[in-house]
């Protein structure tokens, strides 16, 4: 009876969610990438009116005052390969800015008000606009006044402006106010009810964008602990020899205090040469962690090594990854 009640309540809440306004654009996903594979959702829109943070599912996948969603690439190499930013809906280009370098904000003296870096703003009519920020320098191929269709390429993901890793900051505005594309103009659903919320997304985009509370961005095996900052570990250093340490490192999203993380490294014959578990203390929206050991007497056996990392919350594994490298 309790399950039936909760189901009925959820359906009732879903039915109460107002449809998007008639003049609201139906938004396609604004990057030509596969969520969870070639790109990830790093941050969502912040719904907390005070100094705290709360995403549309009452989780912490945002930062204070964040007015859009961040779609990030895994590595600097991915940025150089090039992932297209596309118009989320038909419209007219209002403004563009190019010429800002693809350089981490950690290595810039000042932004002179150009926090968005290279950017494009598109007008969709009915006082709706979308903005595409942190684009790659020299990649913008649209101009003000140009009419474009939904899905049309406008630029590439970059690292310009106030950015620490290559990503697109996607902002939706209605009458000049930022709007969460996952909610639109509807009220936030209750925190304790699992309600599907499509917001302004098209059905196809909504299917790609199910809420995920944690993820691993990337990982690697190395002989030294790499820098925490994405831009500072480019190019990444790998395994350096049989006498060097063996370290498994990970770059994750939303590790939380109390989560259990497991690091495991297997040698060429499948034998586990390193295994460590620990409880996350502090955690964070961006979480960098590592574990490893010194080479044994006589050095490591030459061959291919496999590292496995998992992040467990209660009884559920919320993120995991496998990576490998060779020792000669």
d(CA 226, CA 290): 9
- Domain count within the chain: 2
Same domain, 272 and 197: no
- Pair 261, 311: CB distance under 8 Å: yes
Domain-embedded: residue 6 = no
Say whether pLDDT at 40 is over 90: yes
Domain-embedded: residue 13 = no
Same domain, 104 and 236: no
For residues 132-156, b (16+ Cβ closer than 10 Å) or e, as one string? bbbbbbebbebeeeeebebebebbb
Domain-embedded: residue 263 = yes
Q: Which residues contact residue 105 at a Cβ distance below 8 angstroms, ignoring those fewer than 6 apart?
A: 111, 161, 162, 163, 164
For residues 12-25, b (16+ Cβ closer than 10 Å) or e, as one string? eeeeebeebeeebb
Say whether pLDDT at 17 is over 60: no
Query: Last residue of some domain: 188, 208, 228?
Result: 208
Domain-embedded: residue 10 = no
Q: Which residues contact residue 135 at a Cβ distance below 8 angstroms, ignoring those fewer than 6 apart?
A: 85, 98, 117, 118, 119, 120, 155, 156, 157, 158, 160, 168
Same domain, 165 and 308: no
Query: Last residue of some domain: 179, 208, 237?
Result: 208
Nearest to 42 by CA among 191, 173, 169, 188: 169
Same domain, 204 and 219: no
Residue 7 is predicted with a pLDDT of 35
Say whether pLDDT at 76 is over 60: yes
Residue 20 is predicted with a pLDDT of 56
Same domain, 159 and 199: yes
- Structure confidence by residue, pLDDT tens digits, 141-194: 999 999 999 999 999 999 999 999 999 999 999 999 999 999 998 888 888 766
Residue 15 is predicted with a pLDDT of 36
Residue 5 is predicted with a pLDDT of 31
Domain-embedded: residue 1 = no
Residue 196 is predicted with a pLDDT of 64
- Pair 68, 88: CB distance under 8 Å: no
* Residues 131/137/142/145 CA torsion (nearest 10 deg): 60
Q: Is the dihedral of CA 157, 160, 161, 162 positive or negative?
A: positive
Same domain, 198 and 142: yes
Domain-embedded: residue 12 = no
Same domain, 188 and 291: no
Same domain, 236 and 310: yes
- Structure confidence by residue, pLDDT tens digits, 284-293: 999 999 999 9
Share of the chain above pLDDT 90, in %: 83
* Range 190-202 average pLDDT: 78
d(CA 247, CA 225): 7
Query: Last residue of some domain: 193, 208, 223?
Result: 208
Entry pTM:
0.90
Same domain, 92 and 145: yes
| Residue 147, domain extent | 20-208
- Pair 220, 263: CB distance under 8 Å: no
Number of helices (H), then strands (E), in the chain: 3, 17
Same domain, 193 and 101: yes
For residue 176, what is the domain's CATH number? 2.70.70.10
Same domain, 185 and 301: no
- Pair 253, 42: CB distance under 8 Å: yes
Domain-embedded: residue 5 = no
Q: In the structure, what pLDDT confidence band is assigned to residue 46 with cuts at 50, 70 and 90?
A: very high
* Range 196-222 average pLDDT: 90
């Amino acid at each position: 009876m309790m399950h039936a009640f909760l189901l009925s309540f959820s359906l009732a809440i879903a039915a109460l969610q107002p449809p998007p306004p008639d003049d609201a654009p139906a938004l396609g996903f604004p990057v030509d990438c596969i969520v969870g594979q070639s790109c990830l959702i790093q941050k969502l829109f912040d719904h907390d009116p005070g100094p705290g943070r709360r995403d549309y599912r009452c989780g912490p996948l945002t930062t204070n005052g964040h007015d859009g969603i961040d779609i990030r690439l895994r590595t600097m190499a991915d940025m150089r390969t090039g992932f297209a930013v596309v118009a989320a809906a038909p419209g007219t280009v209002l403004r563009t800015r190019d010429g800002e370098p693809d350089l981490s904000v950690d290595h810039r003296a000042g932004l002179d008000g150009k926090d968005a870096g290279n950017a494009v703003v598109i007008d969709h009519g009915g006082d709706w606009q979308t903005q595409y920020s942190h684009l790659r320098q020299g990649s913008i191929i649209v101009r003000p006044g140009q009419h474009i269709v939904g899905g049309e390429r406008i630029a590439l993901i970059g690292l310009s402006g106030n950015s620490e890793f290559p990503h697109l900051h996607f902002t939706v505005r209605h009458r000049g106010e930022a709007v969460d594309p996952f909610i639109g103009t509807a009220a936030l659903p209750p925190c304790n009810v699992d309600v599907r919320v499509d917001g302004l997304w098209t059905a196809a985009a909504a299917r790609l964008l199910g809420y995920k509370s944690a993820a691993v961005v990337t990982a690697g095996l190395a002989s030294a602990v790499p820098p925490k900052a994405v831009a500072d570990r480019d190019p990444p250093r790998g395994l350096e020899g049989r006498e060097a340490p063996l370290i498994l490192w990970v770059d994750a999203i939303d590790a939380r205090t109390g989560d259990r993380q497991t690091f495991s490294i297997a040698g060429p014959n499948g034998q586990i040469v390193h295994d460590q578990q620990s409880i996350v203390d502090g955690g964070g929206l961006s979480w960098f962690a590592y574990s490893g050991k010194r080479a044994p007497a006589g050095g490591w056996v030459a061959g291919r090594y496999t590292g496995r990392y998992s992040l467990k919350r209660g009884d559920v594994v919320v993120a995991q990854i496998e990576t490998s490298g060779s020792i000669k």
